[in-house]
Amino acid sequence: MTDGQRGVVLVTGGSRGIGAAASIALAADGWDVGVNYRTQADEAARVVKACAEQGRRTVAVQADVTQADQLERLFDTVTAELGPIGAVINNAGVVSPAGRVAEYDAERLERVFRINAVSAFLVAGAAVRRMSTAYGGNGGVLVNISSRAAVLGSAGEYVDYAASKAAVDALTVGLANEVATEGVRVVGVRPGLIETDIHAPGRLDRLGTTPPLGRPGTAQEVAEVIAFLASDRASYMTGTSVDVSGGR
């Protein structure tokens, strides 16, 4: 693919935060974009408009990626509307209110792991079935969005979130080795303290200056790394995750 036209990318959780910024950055980089959302139709429409302003074809598709049937519909719809998918940004995620491990209950844990880990595996499987040459595809790239929390542990706040993202890191390494000879690269991004609404009120005020760079990052800064990894500029990268964390 040339720098002017890269193909079709699907971004899960693409209506807000890092997913929205990634969708727009990918459009600017030459991709046609499928923007997945679960409930925020208005936000998704704004992202679609911003991508269209980059001169790219874009479609928003509602689907809960924790549900296998909805996930299949999502991939099929994007393919029907835009063409064969050549990259997937595996981005959907959630946190729970801050708390210690001793305070977690099964309902909290099931929600966090279902959305952050189980859905990541389901999206990855659907992506491979469309892109892998072993399934008749033309190859492609899967970018898994993890978190620096997977390494740091997030003690006293959300160790469950950190553990669910550590599962995503393991997925990146393991799946990359499974599909390396099938035309599919699998890479990860671990954002640090980024200015999005995933944080509890006051959290960035308390922690935002703790990275060595002295500030929180922006969703745009993460999005630029995602766009690079999805492109052929990163053609010799697979099975690895890139920290975008200001050194923290």
Q: Write out pLDDT tens, residues 26-69.
A: 999 999 999 999 999 999 999 999 999 999 999 999 999 999 99
- Catalytic positions are 161
Q: How confident is the model at residue 129 (pLDDT cuts 50, 70, 90)?
A: very high
User: Is a pLDDT exceeding 60 seen at residue 77?
Assistant: yes
What confidence tens digit (pLDDT) does each residue in 192-207 have? 988 876 656 677 677 6
CATH of 7-192+226-240, one of 3.40.50.150, 3.40.50.11740, 3.40.50.720, 3.40.50.1260: 3.40.50.720
Domain boundaries, the chain: 7-192+226-240
Up-side HSE of residue 167: CA atoms within 13 Å toward CB? 18
Instruction: Transcribe 143-156 into DSSP letters.
Output: EEE--THHHH--TT
Cβ proximity of 19 and 13 under 8 Å = yes
User: Is a pLDDT exceeding 90 seen at residue 176?
Assistant: yes
- 194 vs 224, which has greater pLDDT? 224
Mean pLDDT throughout 194-223? 79
Secondary structure class of 25 (helix, strand, coil) = helix
Q: What is the pLDDT at residue 4?
A: 47
Q: 155 to each of 43, 150, 205, how far by Cα in Å?
A: 32, 11, 18
Mean pLDDT throughout 78-84? 98
Mean pLDDT throughout 161-168? 98
Query: In the numeric block, which tokens belong to residue 197?
Result: 């609404």
